[in-house]
Structure 1
């Protein structure tokens, strides 16, 4: 079993295998136990699941802190917190997609489960590409940093309107290339029925599958922000992937908790924008100060401070 101690992307294979094993167990538990009988997820159940995933993520972070050291632990938690916060915007888009296609809550879990399963693969590919680029071209880290600063400033100064799902180019392409059913067919993504034009029995895709495709696309767009953000915190692929995936695993449960009240956190977005500007500027600040990098404890403290402030102001203003 010596192969388990071989190094892959900076860490022994057994560490990667153990993490992937944990993820697979959670997915099997989710689909095979929690959703063995399809039902509408209540607020109480979603809150419990969300806290459960947060507890697991923190437990894994505690192990990282103990086994890999103080700095790695702080970098993991900083990445996890930023990814979790970025996912709130993703939740808002998911809510718009579900509303547009009139997907009932009882079916939303199925879309989110398969969506998150796809995200696990897509994030692995994007993180692998990012790690390779930084390893081969160290100057890419500066590109990531400038991109984050630009994104943060844009979030602060540009007022964005709600996206119009009907004008989404991917939706238009799907409508052009496939036959899309106007109504839902339970949990089915694909169905067979007669084509009124040709009178042939052909495959149609349901609104459930269209919603899944658009949610996957939305995550790719959000990953363009989150992947550079975590690489600006740490270049360790293991910390990058594990913090990302633990944040994503809890996204489904978090959706059912926040979807109805997300509008109350209006000041969280400016706080997140300031976090992105700070994370992006760290590389340049460190060079000006003549140090290798900003200490992980400072990064974690500033990130927590800004985001906590944004949440506190949002709650205060929404009560006023």
Structure 2
């Protein structure tokens, strides 16, 4: 795995009534590098990401694109690039981790060319490079609206703190998004991932579920560190996640997709309060006042 943090010299200026204090020191930054994802040797996309959990990232991306929908669809992945690279788990002393070649299981069709992303996806937006808007609107294999899970409001309210407590790299850099999957009944943390891109963090979480053969992710809550965009709702729906919780605001399109899909979308989950934008019946609170 490549570096996830790096050191850089910075000049820190602190303004005050008596003037400015200037101090020069080293700062820790989150690493951002390109990852090219290939299918059977053919380039599919390039995403800017924080190195680490690349196989999960690729697997989750393929779920989001509707290419796979079960753990058995994902056969293997190999980091490519130079001497010392090889099958998953083999260590290399060279920085050759930026190309990942994925092999799907026999009988699983590769994506058609109409979802090609011009081989570039930014770390801030997973759908910015999509060839056409129609390619975003995919039909999930799972009906999240049929999931009858009910979660306590107090549990949802506590998820941002649980997410923040697990952000080890954020503590060092202050520059990473995070996504975590929780059991909706017990509140147990199932998996947490960090990345410079919020969509990458979610893809890594979904990819973990692919490799663990846990799709669909019924009875779970996906907690994200930032806003709830259309793409994050889409990724949740494609993975069969019934509840998405965000510490910040949702977009209008995110709410529309959540409503149409039957996904429970919670935004501004901060302290004791939250806004429920769709399927509020899944959030149980006896003292709830309208």
TM-score, shorter chain, exceeding 0.5: no
Q: TM-score, normalised by structure 2?
A: 0.23
Q: Which has the higher strand share?
A: 2
